[in-house]
Structure 1
Amino acid sequence: MNDIAQSLFQQHTDELCGAALRAISGRTDAHFRKGRLYLDDTLVPVLAPHLRLDTGNHTFNDFRAVADGLALRLLASDRAIYDASCPDDEIGRLLYDFFEQVRLEATAASEWPGVRANVQARFRAWAQGFEHSDLIETSLGILLFTVMLTVWSRVTGCVLSEAQQDLLEATRAGMASEIGTELYALRRQREDQQAYARTAAQLAAKISANLAAEIALDAREQKRERDNRSLFSLLLTPDAQQEEGFDVAPAGQSRVFDQHQSSYRVFTRRYDRVELAATRVRRAELKQFRRQMDEDRAALSIGVAQLAKLFRRIFRIPQDDGWVFGQEEGILDGRTLSQLVASPAETRIFRQDQVIDRVDQAVTILLDCSGSMRVHARRLSVLLDTLLRALGMAGVQTELLGFTTGAWNGGRAMKDWQRQGKPDYPGRLNEVCHLLFKQADTSWSRARLDIAALLKNDLYREGVDGEAVLWASQRLLEQSARRRTLIVVSDGCPMDSATQYVNDDYYLASHLQQVVRQTMVQGIDVVGLGVGLDLSAYYARSLAIDPQQALTPAVFYEIARLLAGGHRR
């Protein structure tokens, strides 16, 4: 399956499985992405190994079964009770989590025959895969496999295959006297989560101790130890650590900001300005930049028309568009009653609602034009240009804005502050420069040359993010669109050396967090697109992209998924 087909399959799968997950659990904030459970945009770690999938080698039925299993977790597992007995060690947590999932599949799933069939099929598929892997050849693997299958069979009442029973017989017989009491109790207590959790924790502790002893015995055989540890690296990696390994943007509370009742100050706005970015680039140079962007774009296998269809699907709003008359079913049309009397065989006497999909959406992309972003300018220019073109084809109003400073290290604002005797708490101490690359009332085709100004190196200096978000959101509110989204593209926390010098490290960051909260209250959906950095410290919904990674269709579909987060139906 190629990248585009795989991305479309994953998106469609996530949508359908997410709908099923919400219907079963009753949680409207639950979402399903690549086999993982999210509440809003917070990942919910689930360690049970049969509920953890990669995205390359599984069918829709596998993902649907995982979604059903996760729905049971939300529906019938009390998190407080779960946390109260959860072991501290990794192996213990894995087993304890697995035991809880087995309880849910034995009890809550009984009311949902289809769900029960799905989760049982998923467990059997996982067990079969484990059974035919190299892991079963290690003493640790067979011990862990025996415990899991025995607990699953005992608690759910499902019968193991003859081959599995033969495989486990010797190990199970050796463990019977040690764990038989807990196995009996788990089945008896499966309707009582609190009692079950205590027994599950005890059993997990026993098995964890046995596994630790086995690892210690095998430590003399280094190759075998490596094999054993590969087993646990496979099984014990928490979901929270399986996400892309991007650093998280640093965030802290500003002491200066707090001391002044979260009041943000600006020393002077005298030198602030808003400019058309293209006016700072010579015409010939701008055309050269545009040719470079077009060449880079042509080298990619990105279907802009396909991407536009996806955006239209995300942002569409069904609207009534009158009636369609002369239909064979629908609402009886009173005007046709006389016709019915005259011609009883006539069936086209009904009318139907006519519903069409409209896009009433505005999207503003706000680019951090700080110095560190300069090295990413060429790749980002193609990414943003493609997004703008696809969004425009989908009927979305778009703007591309940027923010930087007029100088390094404070410029004229810093000199004015020094001349005035360096008064305390000056607040922001630099010249803010906001840039217009493409305005809302300009089409992509007319703005394509101006967009090429993204490649002008001397635009990139320092960044005052909070004021830029406030400026961009005010422009969005002036647009007539019913729904509004602001995408902030950045590779770090707000940074202006002069402002940081006279305040503290997190002064601008605290202001950014305040502005984002206020903007969301105004009805604007604010999302962060991190360039090699996780921006979740500032934006509740964010996506990190690797600036070194090639721009494949999968990157664009991940961005589309991010934008769809605020428009889930």
Structure 2
Amino acid sequence: MSDKETNLKEKLRQALASTIRVISDDLEIKQKNKDNKSSNKFDFFELDNLNSKIDFIKARAEADSSALKRKFSNDEIYKKNLPNNSNCKSLYAIAEKIRYETLGGKMLKGIEKNLKDNYSQMINLKRKDQLKTKEDVPVTEAFELYMLKNFYDIKLNSLSSKMLNLWEQDFDQSISKHINFLKNNFEDQNAYCSKFSKLLQDMDIFQTEDNEEIKENNQDEGQDNPSNDDQESETEDQKDENKEQETEASLDSDYDIDEYKLDEQLVDTDSDKQSSEQVIQKKNINDLNLEYKIYTTKFDEIIKAENLENADEANKLRKTLDQQLIGFQDVVTKLANKLQRQLLAKQNRAWEFDLEEGLLDSSKLPRIIMDPYNSLSFKKEKDLDFKDTIVTLLIDNSGSMRGRPITIAAICADILSRTLERCSVKVEILGFTTKNWKGGQSREFWNKQDKPKTPGRLNDLRHIIYKGADTHWRQAKNNLGLMLKEGLLKENIDGEAINWALSRLKKRKEERKILMVISDGAPVDDSTLSVNSGDFLEKHLKKMVKFIEDKTEIEVLAIGIGHDVSRYYNRAIKITDVNELGDVMISQLSSLFDSKKKLH
């Protein structure tokens, strides 16, 4: 980042801090310093990733919203009226956020514009592959759209209207006749929150879940028949547990959630003395302890690409890929040749001459014969910068990659594989998706188990090995065509895919390890997000990437197709045209091989 950019972002940071102090009437708010030691800290939007107008709008809106929360939202009143049902808590948090943001909009037109611009932009960025039933849309997402439409007068587009339509009748039955009361009590937080809490808990969509929970508790009590003392101690434990859940369940990320306490997960005080591989292994065993739950893994699969389809179909798909290659081969091959020349140049042997020890330099012997007083000359081979290297390409195989993006990804993987192989660089090509839409067997199993609350990841993973690191390109070339297989691309759960790629890389003996992720945005699995918090998958991805970048020697770089992925990865490039993918992949690899040490 240039000094000019750094200065501009620092000025923006200071401007936002000043704005927050003025709006919130709290002049004691301080920026969190580099050591995170500020006692009265404010966590700003990630201004380091401010790369577009969209990011700028989001930064201003989030700063305004945080200030309004400090000004208009009393935490004691918020917690006093918090519903018991975990799903209700998430909707309750959204309702409270809309309340204090609406008050801010009435106070200053500039705030109203910032917030409305951000919500409109959020609506326009929504992507859904299938919309047929309620299960296709998380209830929290639908409720936010309902609140924006009815309380914030945001105009929905066709997709967001369709998403809301699946749930709108349920919301209207409980809320529509009370909308005027709620609007008239925006300034009375207690009246507004207590009313909303009751309305949410009385909703039919949550009644079944509450009844099932009560029934389960009664059954447990009947079976165990605990003593009164035990019941009292259990009640105390439940109170403590409920207090913890209250904090965790809030959808509004401002409620005391710290995303990055990863250092605490390394439980050994001697971990600094351990090798990075030992640390990684420990983290994997504990599944990184990142508040990330998986309901079941018994339906997941890791499959070799050749087992996805028969040989005849694989040949046909490879021919389709070869036809697509014709249009790109000249451009990408030139770039690949450039990378090849660079890598081979690094592998050339080089010698240091005129040394006092080493191997005898026979080219200097004639001068000894001519003049015996000349000293013997020795030579030694130089240490090469080029290290034994492996590159893993991890390719998003989600439905939104369908068409041109996945074709270009397959083409570039094919050409890079051949190029790097010629330079003695090992290449592994992996893909990640799910076996089914809507959760598959995992969700069916969850339904049979009476739908436990917040089950965690709720779909069947499919991780695909297109080419192993030790497999020659010729043996695996048909597999790369299988990325074009109809019906293969479904959902994307990025955090677990990266963990899988990491576990494969750490077993390798190569000295230098590079992970290149090709994706088109945020992780999405509707089945999982419909029964967990809206940022459940995204938080896991952020923490997984941060751990690799900070705690391992593996170099990670990401290419976002049509979407900025710099909020997840420190080293990230966004491309708007998939035709740029080959150029970007090769130039990024080229710059990595130019650098002598890991870049963050």
Note if contact 1:528-1:539 (Cα within 8 Å) is conserved in structure 2. yes
Partner of 2:299: 271
Tell me the equivalent position of 2:540.
511
Match of 1:344 in 2: 371
Match of 1:530 in 2: 560
Does residue 467 of structure 1 match 2:467?
Answer: no
Question: Does the CA contact (< 8 Å) of 1:429 and 1:499 recur in 2?
Answer: yes
Give the alignment's Cα RMSD to 1 decimal: 4.3
Q: CA deviation at 1:380?
A: 2.1
Q: Which residue of 2 aligns with 1:221?
A: none
* Secondary structure of residue in 1 paired with 2:322: helix
Structure 1 position 541 matched with structure 2 position 571:
yes
User: Deviation per CA, 1:234-274, whole angstroms, max 9, x where unpaired?
Assistant: xxxxxxxxxxxxx899x995989879984111101110110
Once the two structures are TM-superposed, the CA of residue 544 in structure 1 deviates from its matched residue by 1.5
Decide which of 44, 47, 63 is 2:5's aligned counterpart: 44
Equivalent residue letter for 1:344? D
Q: Are 1:272 and 1:431, in contact at CA under 8 Å, matched by a contact in 2?
A: yes
- Alignment CA distance shift 1:527-1:81 (3 Å): closer
Task: Specify every segment of 5 or more residues in structure 2 that has no aligned partner in the other structure, as ranges.
Answer: 19-124, 128-250, 262-288
Q: Deviations over 1:106-157 (max 9, x none)?
A: xxxxxxxxxxxxxxxxxxxxxxxxxxxxxxxxxxxxxxxxxxxxxxxxxxxx
> What corresponds to 2:185 in structure 1?
none
Deviation digits for residues 220-240 of structure 1 (CA, Å, limit 9, x no counterpart): xxxxxxxxxxxxxxxxxxxxx
Deviation at 1:340, TM superposition (A): 7.4
Contact 1:333 1:349 survives alignment (8 Å):
no
Q: Does the CA contact (< 8 Å) of 2:397 and 2:490 recur in 1?
A: yes
Change (3 A) 1:316 1:409: farther
Q: Measure the CA separation in 2 of the matches of 1:419 and 1:473.
A: 33
1:372-521 → structure 2 map (5 Å cutoff): 372-375=400-403, 376-520=405-549, 521=551
Q: Secondary structure at the match of 1:481?
A: coil
CA 1:423/1:335 → structure 2, altered by over 3 Å: closer, same or farther?
Answer: closer
For the residue of structure 1 that corresponds to 2:402, the secondary structure is: helix
AA matched with 1:525:
E
Q: Distance in 2 between matches of 1:316 and 1:363?
A: 19
Q: Structure 1 length as normaliser, TM-score?
A: 0.51
Residues 370-408 of structure 1: CA distance to partner in whole angstroms, max 9, x if unpaired? 111112222222122112222222221111101111111
Q: Is the 8 A contact 2:360 2:377 kept in 1?
A: no
Q: What SS does the corresponding residue of 1:399 show, helix, strand or coil?
A: strand
Which range is displaced more, 502-511 or 282-291? 282-291
User: Aligned partners of 2:344 and 2:500: how far apart in 1?
Assistant: 24
Alignment match, 1:354 = 381
- Give per-residue Cα distances to partners, 1:84-108, cap 9 Å, x unaligned: 89xx9xxxxxxxxxxxxxxxxxxxx
Map Cα deviations across residues 258-307 of structure 1 (whole Å, 9 max, x no partner).
79984111101110110012221232221122122223223331363762
Task: State the Cα distance separating 1:437 from its structure 2 match.
Answer: 0.4
Supply the distance in 2 between the matched residues of 1:346 and 1:409 (Cα, whole angstroms).
Answer: 86
> Which stretch shows the higher mean deviation, 410-419 or 254-263?
254-263
Correspondence 1:289-300 to 2 at 5 A: 289-300=317-328
State the Cα distance separating 1:479 from its structure 2 match: 1.0
What's 2:278 paired with? none
Contact 1:312 1:359 in 2 (8 A): no
* 8 Å CA contact retained: 1:542, 1:562: no
Residue identity in the other structure for 2:381: Q
C-alpha separation between the residues in 2 aligned to 1:272 and 1:388?
27
Matched, 1:363 2:391: yes
Query: 1:44-63 counterparts in 2 under 5 A?
Result: 44=5
Q: State the percentage of identical aligned residues.
A: 28
- Classify 1:568/1:38 alpha carbon distance in 2 versus 1 (closer, same or farther; 3 Å): farther
CA contact (8 A) 2:360 2:379 kept: no
Partner Cα separation in structure 1 for residue 560 and residue 507 of structure 2 = 26
Say which of 307, 310, 322 aligns to 1:282.
Answer: 310
Task: Say if 1:368 and 1:484 are closer, same or farther in 2 by CA, change over 3 A.
Answer: same
Distance in 2 separating the partners of 1:481 and 1:558:
22
Q: Tell me the secondary structure at the aligned position of residue 450 of structure 1.
A: helix
Quote how far apart the aligned CAs of 1:540 are. Answer: 0.6
Query: Per-residue deviation at 1:451?
Result: 1.4
**What secondary structure does 1:530 align onto?**
strand
Give 1:523 shift: 1.4
Note the alpha carbon deviations across 1:314-355, whole angstroms, 9 max, x for none: 69877998x78xx6x443679899997764178693112222
For the 8 Å contact 1:256–1:504, the answer to whether it is kept is no
C-alpha distance in 2 between matches for 1:417 and 1:483: 42
Secondary structure of the structure 1 residue equivalent to 2:431: strand
The verdict on how the C-alpha distance between 1:312 and 1:428 changes in structure 2, with shifts beyond 3 A counting, is farther
SS in 2 for 1:493: coil
Structure 1 pair 437–339 and aligned structure 2 pair: CA distance change class (3 A): closer
Cα distance, 1:296–1:563 mapped onto 2, change above 3 Å:
farther
In structure 1, give the amino acid aligned to 2:322.
D
Distance 1:334 1:473 in 2: 42
Gapped runs of 5+ residues in structure 1? Answer: 1-36, 48-78, 89-246
CA shift in 2, pair 1:334/1:291, >3 Å: closer
CA contact under 8 A between 1:404 and 1:464: conserved in structure 2?
Answer: yes
Matches within 5 A, 1:90-129: none
Q: How many residues align?
A: 336
Q: Secondary structure at the match of 1:451?
A: helix
TM-score normalised over the length of structure 2: 0.49
Matched AA of 1:355: K
Alpha carbons 1:311, 1:560 under 8 Å: kept? no
Shift in Å at residue 507 of structure 1? 0.3
1:485–1:554 CA distance, 2 compared to 1 (3 A): closer
Q: Which moved more, 1:346-355 or 1:459-468?
A: 346-355
TM-superposed deviation, 1:536: 0.3
